[in-house]
Structure 1
Amino acid sequence: MASSQKTRKYVSLGKRSVTEEEEEDMLSMFDVSRGKTTERIVLQRLILIARLPQDLADRTELGAHYEKLNFQLKKQHMLDNMTGLLLIYPSCLLHVIESSRDVLVSVLKDLTDMQQQPDGAFLEASKVVLMAQNPQSRLFPQWSYKVLEEDQMAGESKSFEEEEESTETLVCCVLSALQKLSEHLEGSKAVPGSVLDESPELIVSQNVLNKLLTRDELLTPQQHLQMYCSPLNVIMNAECSAFTRAPRK
């Protein structure tokens, strides 16, 4: 009789105990109320932009390069699921990567290596638009890329060419457009590429990205990696305490 009974695990909760099934229900309701997905990693989000060389004949080569990189990173970091979106414009690219810090650093290192290739790099100037620590949820359910054509840029507003917008305003425009695209994808099995074909107004403005590429306030991938890899020295004495970067040799 005892062997046929379902084994229950009890968890202490204040002055009473709850079963494992009740505990799972509570966790699920908590996650829903907080609007978060369960992650095995400390999720981070990286948004990169880069200028394409004018003589780049086949932009699909960039998509193939990042597909290969994504495959390699999945093998190296099996639990660090990588999601995001790569948009390849006629003159630049926008890359959103959501994963662990290790994966994001690998993407940054790969980008710097690509730019240093002597025999015709895929990419020229590049900038880090945003590095978000522990965002509440992912913007995209998987990683994919889309090559955008010139006619899809035809409806872009020219206001950013006529007015001098602040860097903060331009960054907010990028984030707002990505959020709208993410909301449009909710509850749908469609990939971002097909959604952008049907609704080109959801495409992040190429004009905005080109303006951001000229802004010195944004770090390059090399500068970001230098800051991340540079150790901190802690200086403390009777009068003051401060954190300083160790000098680079």
Structure 2
Amino acid sequence: MSFSGHHVQKASKRPFPLESLLMPQVPRSNYLHFQEEKQRLQLKKFLLHRMFLVAKIPAHTDKKDIAEYYEQVFQSILKHHLGEMVTGLLLIYPTSILHILESSNGTLFRILLDYLDRERNENEFLIQGMKIIVVSHNIPTRLFMQWHVSVIKVPVMYLDDVTQSQSLEEVITEFLTQTHKLGLHLFKTVKVGTKGPGDNLHQVAPELLLPEQIIKYLCKSEEFLDPATFIQMYNNPIHVTLDSEVVWPAPTRF
């Protein structure tokens, strides 16, 4: 009997196989699940796009008028496109602007339409000669958590004009590289709900600011589309009817 009791006591220390399977497991995840959860929490109801714009402004333009104009446009569009907020960055130089916008395709389309309407109906609109540098479609997430405006009050001095010695491809590469670095800097340093870098960005991160001559150079480049041409291409049908499809009599197919 003592041997049997000792055997039972020893066996009781071993967990029953079924019992070990039923024990609560620590939830584990991976990077894919993290990204999927991040996308779900954003409650994305539309595809997200990012647009890079450059334009010229008259030297006498009040910089506050530019910011107020875009804020009014955003509020007007938001009434028809609920939940499709606009984020990005507006850099106002002495005679030009650099504008990065993130939103749905319909919202970006309406922003361009409003610009064209103002340009046609106003004698001297405060934003002139706009060019679309690049549009990134279906981006996975926003680089900017809100819409920032920064006035570059103090001109930044540069040793030489890179647009005189570099090709267009090199200028565009520098343009995209610097804007991406600046966006990452703001993403890491600016808290959600704050006003952003304000008008001292040239003091906080002067090495990340693009020279204004690059923006002026891009405004003059004929390789980039203006909003009117871009919208015309946007509205054109994708399907093109070939001449062989409209000849008469119709060709016989076997």
- The TM tier, using the shorter chain, reads 0.7 to 0.9
In the alignment, structure 1 segments of 5+ residues that lack a partner are 1-21, 240-249
Q: CA deviation at 1:120?
A: 2.0
Q: Which amino acid aligns with 1:226?
A: Q
Question: What RMSD over aligned residues (CA atoms) do the two structures have, in Å?
Answer: 3.0
Go from structure 1 to structure 2 and tell me whether the alpha carbon gap of 1:214 and 1:119 turns closer, same or farther (over 3 Å shift). closer
Match of 2:206 among 200, 207, 217: 200
1:31, 1:38 within 8 Å by CA — same for their partners in 2? no
Q: TM-score, normalised by structure 1?
A: 0.75
Describe the superposition over 1:160-218 as per-residue Cα deviations: whole angstroms up to 9, x where unpaired: 2542x222222222211111112212343162436724122222221111111111110
Q: Does 1:142 align with 2:143?
A: no
Match of 2:47 among 42, 64, 81: 42
Go from structure 1 to structure 2 and tell me whether the alpha carbon gap of 1:33 and 1:42 turns closer, same or farther (over 3 Å shift). closer
1:31, 1:37 within 8 Å by CA — same for their partners in 2? no
Question: Greater shift after overlay, 126-135 or 186-195?
Answer: 186-195
Q: CA deviation at 1:24?
A: 9.7
Structure with greater Cα Rg:
2
2:163, 2:171 within 8 Å by CA — same for their partners in 1? no
DSSP 3-state at the match of 2:73: helix
Q: Does 1:127 align with 2:128?
A: no
Question: Greater shift after overlay, 175-184 or 228-237?
Answer: 228-237
Match of 1:29 among 34, 47, 51: 34
Q: CA deviation at 1:94?
A: 0.9
Match of 1:73 among 71, 77, 82: 77
Task: Name the counterpart of 1:169.
Answer: 170
In the alignment, structure 2 segments of 5+ residues that lack a partner are 1-26, 246-254
1:60, 1:147 within 8 Å by CA — same for their partners in 2? no
Question: Greater shift after overlay, 140-149 or 113-122?
Answer: 113-122
Q: Does 1:51 align with 2:51?
A: no
Distance 2:172 2:109 in 1: 21
Q: Which amino acid aligns with 1:65?
A: Y
Q: TM-score, normalised by structure 2?
A: 0.73
Q: CA deviation at 1:95?
A: 0.9
Distance 1:144 1:238 in 2: 53
Q: CA deviation at 1:37?
A: 6.5
1:114, 1:122 within 8 Å by CA — same for their partners in 2? no
Task: Name the counterpart of 2:228.
Answer: 222
2:61, 2:126 within 8 Å by CA — same for their partners in 1? no
